[in-house]
Amino acid sequence: MDGKIVFQFSEALPMGMDQLYTHLNVSYPRFYKMDNLSKLGFLASEFLLNGKISMNYQPYEISTVLSNASSSLDTDLRYIEASKKAPSPALFVYTLPNIVNGEISIRHGFKGESNFFVTPDFDSGFLCDYCNELLKEKSKICIAGWIEFGDHLKEAFVYLVGKEQNGLAVDHTSENVFKLYSL
97 vs 147: CA distance, rounded Å: 10
Inside any domain, residue 136:
yes
Residues above pLDDT 70, as percent of the chain:
91
Inside any domain, residue 38:
yes
pLDDT tens digit sequence for 5-33: 666 666 677 778 988 898 899 999 999 99
Inside any domain, residue 137:
yes
Count, residues in the chain:
183
Inside any domain, residue 5:
no
99 lies in which domain range?
A: 15-182
Q: What is the mean pLDDT of the chain?
A: 88
- Torsional sign, CA 171, 172, 178, 182: positive
List residues bridging with 151 in a β-sheet: none
Inside any domain, residue 178:
yes
Inside any domain, residue 2:
no
CATH number for the domain spanning 53: value is 3.40.47.10
Inside any domain, residue 156:
yes
pLDDT tens digit sequence for 54-107: 778 999 999 999 999 999 988 888 888 888 888 777 777 888 899 999 999 999
Inside any domain, residue 9:
no
Residues above pLDDT 90, as percent of the chain:
61
How many domains does the chain divide into? 1
pLDDT at 112 over 90: yes
The SS3 assignment for 42 reads helix
